[in-house]
Amino acid sequence: MIPVRTALDSSVLLDVILDDPRFADRSERVLRAAAATGSLTLCECVLAEIRPAFAAGEIDEFLADWGIEFVSSTKESSLLAGEMFATYLRRRRGGQHRVLADFLIGAHAQLTADRLLARDRGYYRDDFKRLALLEP
């Protein structure tokens, strides 16, 4: 079997870290399955979003325990996020005028991984058609 690189969204990680009563079991099960089939990665946005859930120094231990690798975003992924966000804004005709973390996470995953593990609120499915999505 060919190893699969799975990018992680903060939604699934926070389910596990915070032991979310609705989603923790399902998210942990899918996270473990993804780890068993290849590597796990995250980008700056996800790392920043999960940081408040840890005491100082604990986050490195969590990442090491799960075998999660930090992969920096690139200029290309940032520009892709901006393009996707522009399309989203045209479709919405208004709304937020800042780049949402989801677009940065989605673009990073599309360019650096084989799929994204996330509880999607619609952005990934609607705006990243070429991104394989794994949902718990």
pLDDT given for residue 12 in this prediction? 97
Is residue 115 scored above 70 in pLDDT?
A: yes
Domains, the chain, ranges and CATH? Answer: 4-127 (3.40.50.1010)
Mean pLDDT, to the nearest integer, of 122-135?
Answer: 88
Greater confidence (76 vs 56) lies with: 76
Entry pTM: 0.90
| Burial class of residue 64 (count of CB atoms within 10 Å of its CB; 0-12, 13-18, 19+) | exposed
List, for residues 10-50, the tens digit of each pLDDT value. Answer: 999 999 999 999 999 999 999 999 999 999 999 999 999 99
Q: Which residues in 22-91 belong to E strands, given as ranges?
A: 38-42, 68-70
CA 63 to chain centre: 14
Q: What percent of the chain has pLDDT over 90?
A: 75
